[in-house]
């Protein structure tokens, strides 16, 4: 009777997304990340009306995201070159989900600021790894740079416009906006587990 190496069977059973599809998975994750960064902006007037904070406080909410993003880019930006793209991508999306949950439960300015800081860290950690993974996985030499240039702008626009429409048209937009983004980020985090390491 021929012996079967169960580890080999399990390894084969652990499906991996082909490069041409993995490229688009990372690209969509990049878009969702950027959309999540822009989505809170149309909701700030809602928070401001509910909590009565000043324009200076609103400036602080914007500023802490940019500061967290910049500091993370400077300190963690090249980490994926040492430990691989996939761990950074998955961890960043999980951190993004944490920030989105904080937005949902936010009932005060400090929680809103905390959500924005965590979101900035997630975006800063993911941006370099996503850009590099897109280049590593590109099916042709031109598609990677093209997606890297289009994804951030498209994601930011989609996040702001989509959230703005939900604020105008949907009930409880301060929950719905982030719930939809959580669902998208969770699906993509799972999909990224099956993306080949580059």
Average pLDDT of the residues in 95-121: 96
Specify whether the CB–CB gap between 124 and 73 falls below 8 A: yes
Per the structure, the complete domain to which residue 24 belongs is given by: 16-192
Total domains in the fold of the chain: 1
In which band, very low, low, confident or very high, does the pLDDT at 20 lie, cut at 50, 70 and 90?
Answer: confident
Q: CA–CA separation, 18 vs 34, rounded Å?
A: 24
For the cut 60, the answer to whether the pLDDT of residue 192 exceeds it is yes
Specify whether the CB–CB gap between 38 and 155 falls below 8 A: yes
> Half-sphere exposure (CA, 13 Å, Cβ side) for 171?
0
Q: CA–CA separation, 175 vs 43, rounded Å?
A: 10
In which band, very low, low, confident or very high, does the pLDDT at 12 lie, cut at 50, 70 and 90?
Answer: very low
Q: Tokens standing for 150?
A: 């289009």
Tens digit of pLDDT for each residue in 22-59? Answer: 999 999 999 999 999 999 999 999 999 889 888 899 99
Tens digit of pLDDT for each residue in 50-104? Answer: 898 888 999 999 999 999 999 998 888 777 776 778 899 999 999 999 999 999 9
CATH number of the domain where residue 26 is located: 1.20.1250.20
- On whether residue 11 sits in a domain, the answer given is no
Q: CA–CA separation, 162 vs 173, rounded Å?
A: 11
- Considering only residues 197 and 150, tell me which one the structure prediction assigns the higher pLDDT: 150
Average pLDDT of the residues in 150-159: 96
- On whether residue 3 sits in a domain, the answer given is no
Specify whether the CB–CB gap between 155 and 32 falls below 8 A: yes
Specify whether the CB–CB gap between 43 and 100 falls below 8 A: no
């Amino acid at each position: 009777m021929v012996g079967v190496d169960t580890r080999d069977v399990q390894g084969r059973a652990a499906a991996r997304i082909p490069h041409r599809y993995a490229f688009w998975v990372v690209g969509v994750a990049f878009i969702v990340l950027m959309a999540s960064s822009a989505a809170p902006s149309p909701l700030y007037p809602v928070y401001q009306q509910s909590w009565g904070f000043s324009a200076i406080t609103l400036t602080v909410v914007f500023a802490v995201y940019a500061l967290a993003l910049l500091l993370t880019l400077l300190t963690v930006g090249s980490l994926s070159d040492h430990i691989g793209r996939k761990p950074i991508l998955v961890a960043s999306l999980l951190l993004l989900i944490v920030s989105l949950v904080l937005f949902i439960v936010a009932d005060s300015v400090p929680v809103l600021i905390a959500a924005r800081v965590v979101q900035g860290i997630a975006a800063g950690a993911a941006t370099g790894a996503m850009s590099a993974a897109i280049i590593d996985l590109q099916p042709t030499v031109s598609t990677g740079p093209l997606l890297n240039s289009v994804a951030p702008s498209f994601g930011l626009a989609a996040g702001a416009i989509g959230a703005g429409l939900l604020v105008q048209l949907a009930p409880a937009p301060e929950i719905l906006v982030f719930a939809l983004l959580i669902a998208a980020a969770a699906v993509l985090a799972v999909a990224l587990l099956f993306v080949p390491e580059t």
